[in-house]
Amino acid sequence: MRSPHCFIVEPKDGKRYDNTKELGGKEFVTSSSQEDHLVTNRIAVVGNIPIIYNGPIKKGDEIVVHHNTFRLYHDMKGREKSSASHLFDDKYMIYPTEVYAYRCPGGKWNAIAPYCFVEPIKDTNNTEGLIKNSDELSLFGVMVYPNIEQSDIKPGTIISFIPDSEYEFNIDGKKLYRMKTSMICLVSERKY
């Protein structure tokens, strides 16, 4: 089964939500809310690529997808529903515009233009902790996964971005911000 324009995917490990952590050999649920967008699974395995597609993603690759792809929600009458991407069983159909990165052979992630992934910088001097109750510097980060169009911004480069351009993802256990390349406003000459 193939779609002319959409990827057919399944959630990685068959899980819609990434809301458990293992502590001391026991598994704990970190959020029981279906509405909590921070714990929706965003890693999918490609079952089939679109018929009209010439990109680098292949069948069987892992991809980073939109946070609503696997989500459950309740309609106006309180009935539980799957997202609009749901086909049947564990199969989902998503457009290429909802794919933000893919894992290359060898395990490295590559961001897909116009997106990139940036790691927040820890506020070691606690300059913002008293004001914003945060342990991260606002509007600064380290480039982790640039896209091909960002050949001048290498991984490890310190960048600054405009407010509200970052969107939190958990990739391989690491907190990263997905943002559009056009939201980067400063690039440092020194590495982190």
Query: Is residue 63 scored above 80 in pLDDT?
Result: yes
Tell the residue number behind the tokens 């597609």, with chain if given.
Answer: 53
User: Which has the closest alpha carbon to 170: 30, 61, 34, 74?
Assistant: 30
pLDDT tens-digit readout, 123-148:
777 665 555 566 788 899 999 999 98
Burial degree of 157 (CB within 10 A; 0-12, 13-18, 19+): buried
Percent of the chain with pLDDT over 70: 88
Query: Is residue 61 scored above 90 in pLDDT?
Result: yes
Query: Is residue 38 scored above 90 in pLDDT?
Result: no
Span 8-36, average pLDDT: 76
Domains and CATH numbers, the chain: 7-107 (no CATH), 114-191 (2.30.33.40)
SS (H, E, C) 91-142: EEEECHHHEEEEECCCCCEEECCCEEEEEEEECCCCCCHHHHCCCEEEEEEE
* Contact predicate 19/13, CB 8 Å: no
